[in-house]
Amino acid sequence: MSSPPIFDPAAIERLKATLGEEASILLPELIGEYLADLPNLVEQASTALDEQRTDDLRRLAHNMKSSSLTFGAMALAEAARLLELAAKEGTANPGLLAAVDAELPAARAALESAVEDLS
């Protein structure tokens, strides 16, 4: 299976359709919040992994997957999905979390560029 693209612009179109008139104000705010929150989620996931709290790890990975899919950060979402899947099976895999972390800069760059295009 080919690896997913870093970013899917269709996600932004879907969000515009979802938010309607409020998209021009809300969408940049939401993307900003998402990007600001990502390092926190990775950090919390790292603590959960160290402490072998796989249920928490699973939920955090699930949140990252879900929000990344919402904003079209496809490669990051896929890395988070693999982490979630392992945690669901009771495995706390540091390599999978590192893979998530590695996707952050590219996702950030793509979404920041998308925000610029909005205005």
Partner 1 sequence: MSDPTPKGRILIVDDEKLNRLLLSTNLKGSGYAVEEAVNGEDALEKVREQLFDIVLLDLIMPGIDGYEVLETMKSDSDLRHIPVIIVSAMDEMDSLVQCIELGATDYLFKPFDPVLLHARLNSSLSVKRLRDQEIAYTQQLEQQLELAGQAQRSMLPTMLPEPPGVSFAAIFEPARAVGGDFYDVFSLEGGKVGVLMADVSDKGMHAALFMGVSRALFARETAQSLDPVEVVTAVHLSLVGISSYSMFVTALYGILDPESRTFTFVRAGHDEPLLVRASGETKFMGGTGHALGMALGPPRFAAQTLTLDPGDSFIIYTDGVTDQKNPDREMFGRAQLEKRAISLRDQDADGLAQGIYHAVSAHRDGTDAFDDFTLLVMQAAK
Interface residues with partner 1 (CB under 8 A)?
11, 14-15, 17-22, 26, 30, 33-34, 59, 62-63, 65-67, 69-70, 81, 85
What are the start-end ranges of the H helices in the chain? 10-19, 23-50, 54-71, 74-88, 94-118
Using alpha carbons only, what angle is made at residue 36 by residues 31 and 41, rounded to the nearest 5 degrees? 110
| Least Cβ distance, residue 80 to partner 1 (angstroms) | 11
| Least Cβ distance, residue 2 to partner 1 (angstroms) | 17
Q: Which is nearer to partner 1, 20 or 105 (CB)?
A: 20
What DSSP designation does 73 have? -
| Least Cβ distance, residue 43 to partner 1 (angstroms) | 18
Q: Which is nearer to partner 1, 15 or 115 (CB)?
A: 15
Q: Compute the distance between CA of residue 57 and CA of residue 9 in angstroms, rounded to an integer.
A: 29
Indicate the burial class of 29 (C-beta count within 10 angstroms; 0-12, 13-18, 19 or more): exposed
Q: Which is nearer to partner 1, 87 or 92 (CB)?
A: 87
Q: Which is nearer to partner 1, 33 or 50 (CB)?
A: 33
